Structure 1
Amino acid sequence: MPPHARDDRRYQVFVSSTYSDLMAERQEVIATLLELDAFPAGMELFPAADDDAWTIIKRVIDESDYYLLIIGGRYGSVSEAQVGYTEMEYDYATQIKKPVMAFLHKNPDDIASGKTEKTDDGRERLETFRAKVKTAKHVKFWENKDDLAGHVARTFSKFTRDYPAVGWTRASAETAEELELNLAKARLRIAELESEKAAPSAKAPDGTDELAQGDELVGFMIHFKYQWDDPAKPTYQQRSHGFRWFEIAATWDEVFASIAPKLLNEASEADMQKALESWMLEYHFEEIFEKALEGFEGEQREARDETMSSIDLTIDQDAFSVIVLQLNALGLVGKSEKKRSVREASKSYWTLTPWGLAYATRLRARRRGSEPSIHTINTESTAPTPDDEG
């Protein structure tokens, strides 16, 4: 090719990785390859346990010009032969001597626990796989998705020079428009497949079926403060206060449904606690009211009942921390990754996961003709007031 001639070839790159833990990273890599006029192909979009799918995967690797591997904190699902599907793809690519670009996470210990292997066996398999890949000639280490995208862009450009491939070339100037149209269609289809693949992430993570959830009860202590007015005393002495600890129980669904609306965008842990406390006061008002009157009899109880002016409650902080940890373990909430000001950096912010959003929608959505319930909490409190009770 003459020195200044334009290379119109387009290269197909097989992108291999686990999926749910590297969804954002894959999107960045695919976008980068598209900007470089490459054709990304990712056969993990096919059901990995399907023998026909594995045949298709091998054929697409055969047809690809380059093989690109991304390794994060998970080894991934394994075949009947007890080998991970991502490792099978890598082994096949090296077997047929396909040029391999490998990108390994630089600090696996820094990866969020929700995106790492949970078992010793999985961690051992991952470490062995990493060690195998490190022997390859072209391995780069990445720390975040932007860092990864930069490595991919530089490595791909080098590969097209050092490892020339057949690629795809326009047949003639007359077919240029057709080729560009096909390229646009390919990009659109890749985006559609990525979107479809994201849908299964809206399900409970593996292993959560062993955790307390749903209609199972969770008990915790609440500290409530109440006050009443005693008209028999001078005005400046009329208002009196009382404090009590009270153990209360609710289902995990009730707890999550009361917090979820706050997390549609994101919320601090303090705001999440306030939402649960507001729900507790609203839906367990009668129990709490009775507890405030406990120990008083006859006229004294009746007077307290009629003059109770307010009740406020606080959930035990340790108990609420356990609740947040449990919702996180169930895959319903996750730490927000938005950047914060120095003043807000010390606070914990949470948001709904895709599974949390799907589950919250199921809990809170009202069926036609249904009566309001815990799943359709009203925005205005319907808790009885002391005057109502009297």
Structure 2
Amino acid sequence: MLDKRYQVFISTSGSEMQPERIVVSQTLVGMGFFSWGLEQRTPLSTTFARRQIDDCDYVVVILGSQYGEQSVSGVGYMHLEYIYAVTKQKPIIAFIHEDPDSRDESLHDEKPELREKFKEFRKIIMQEVDQIFTYRTMRDLELAVRLNMSQILERYPVLGWVRPQNTQALHDEIEALKAKIVQLETSAGTREADPFLNVQKVSMHEDFAFEYRMHAYQDGNFKELNAMRRMKWAQLLSVLGSAFINPTPEDFFSKCMNEYLNETGLSDAQEEMPRVHAIARAQINVRALHAIKMQMRENDWIVPSGRDDRQRMLWKVTPKAKRLLESNLLDNDRTLQFRSQN
């Protein structure tokens, strides 16, 4: 891993998972990662956990056979950490016990309602997390970490951490030069398609379909729904472009898209539940959001623009995108304007 290090936040249900936490943490440290996480949780520790997740590169969830201690809202602390990591588009890796029922009875929740919540949370992890690895023994867990975390770095590349010896400025300069090379190669028609996303230029009026989920409220209750949205690239540029006129942190991609979906998702929810009267907590699929960012970069609509004082990557629209936003070419596809401020 050379001079680069990666920070990993480890989330578990509590003290009964200490053996697994130790194995994963020590294995990660031996591979050159920094390991973070909280074993004892309180309402006050939630803020600290979120700060750690904000600063980390990857989030690891270790799921045994307990839902764990709950917050005042009734949602488990581990569950809250997972939700927060999803909203921050952090790459999530789950190591889950292959057969929770086979574990010692002392490692299970005592209350039946918590056991049900554990089953529901495990189901959510199985459905939503792309990188899931199972284990039965501590040796299985250690091998799963060793064999897969290096592949995670290739599949979900992140900036990581390097020694502060002017390397940050050098890295930013390299990224800017890479972007310039891509632009020149694209103009010359010599650039090959990206092997992971197969990104190619699109026209403004081509459609892009993506998934998102939301909370739909009906008859005093809410249900989490998965919905599909189809938008033209002109609409996506209109939604996102105005937020990046000035250099703006990367997390505004998700903020803008989620606000837009909160504003417009009611009709999508009503297709499945006609009596839905409100929606909230809309969240675009992480992979779809990544594809949108890469496509906007490929189309020369947005480029990296250095870092702020918290070392967050900043992005801004290109002169080409500004001309499109200021022209009448997008008028037929204008979408809601948002109140979000940088």
TM-score (norm 2): 0.47
Q: Which has the larger radius of gyration?
A: 1
